[in-house]
Chain A
Amino acid sequence: DADVTQTPRNRITKTGKRIMLECSQTKGHDRMYWYRQDPGLGLRLIYYSFDVKDINKGEISDGYSVSRQAQAKFSLSLESAIPNQTALYFCATSDFGTSGNEQFFGPGTRLTVL
């Protein structure tokens, strides 16, 4: 089984809808991240969490919110989706203590907002 899983893998929704993307990990890592990827722009950090009680905004947090329900679960919500949030979304985890903050990525969620 994959160490970092994301659901759903693909989602098509309409403008104004609320969407939740979920991430689960079995690696036992404390740190979890949400990124979005757009063509030609690489990955940009949306939110990150270093433990259950720690949530931090990243580079592009506007229009997004997150919830760290447990060490293993980190959800990303789009409160009112808009077309320019169409992108590939990745969850990642890391454990600084053992590997110099190498990040382990999930398979991604392709989100289309019509």
Chain B
Amino acid sequence: SQQGEEDPQALSIQEGENATMNCSYKTSINNLQWYRQNSGRGLVHLILIRSNEREKHSGRLRVTLDTSKKSSSLLITASRAADTASYFCATEPTSGTYKYIFGTGTRLKVLA
């Protein structure tokens, strides 16, 4: 079963707008990562947030983590057409052995 579920499944916005996608998970985690996947290609790591962190920034990306709600959000500010991709969260459960469980992904389309 999937540990993480992203919401929404698909998102379409205009260039320049902000995009927010959410990830919910089921068990306690050590950390959570966000990955990006361009159509049919391998995933690329974006950002990692540890369970004792609440917010992290990287360029136009802002990630929050609420362990009490078992949820995370990824915000992409001032989106560009090149941000069009699928975005996945991946959680490392505390009960696991350094392996990650991926969510189902959010497909983002940024219209120029």
Does B99 belong to the interface (CB within 8 Å)?
Answer: yes
Q: Which of B1-58 contact A (CB under 8 A)?
A: 2, 4, 31, 33, 35, 40-45, 48, 50
User: Are the CB atoms of A43 and B43 closer together than 8 Å?
Assistant: yes
Give the A-B pair count, Cβ closer than 8 A.
61
Point out the residue from B33, B99, B104, B105 that lies within 8 Å of A102, measured CB to CB: B33
Q: Which of A82-105 contact B (CB under 8 A)?
A: 88, 90, 92, 94, 96, 100-105
Given known A-B contacts A42-B88, A108-B40, A103 and B98 have beta carbons under 8 A apart: no
Closest to B31 in A: A100
Number of residues on chain A facing chain B (CB within 8 A): 30
Q: Which of A62-114 contact B (CB under 8 A)?
A: 88, 90, 92, 94, 96, 100-108, 110
Given known A-B contacts A100-B31, A100-B48, A42 and B103 have beta carbons under 8 A apart: yes
Number of residues on chain B facing chain A (CB within 8 A): 25
Q: Which of A19-78 contact B (CB under 8 A)?
A: 31, 33, 35, 40-45, 48, 50, 56, 58-59
User: Are the CB atoms of A43 and B88 closer together than 8 Å?
Assistant: yes
Closest to B42 in A: A105
Closest to A59 in B: B101
User: Are the CB atoms of A108 and B98 closer together than 8 Å?
Assistant: no
User: Are the CB atoms of B105 and A42 closer together than 8 Å?
Assistant: yes
A→B interface (CB under 8 Å)? 4, 31, 33, 35, 40-45, 48, 50, 56, 58-59, 88, 90, 92, 94, 96, 100-108, 110
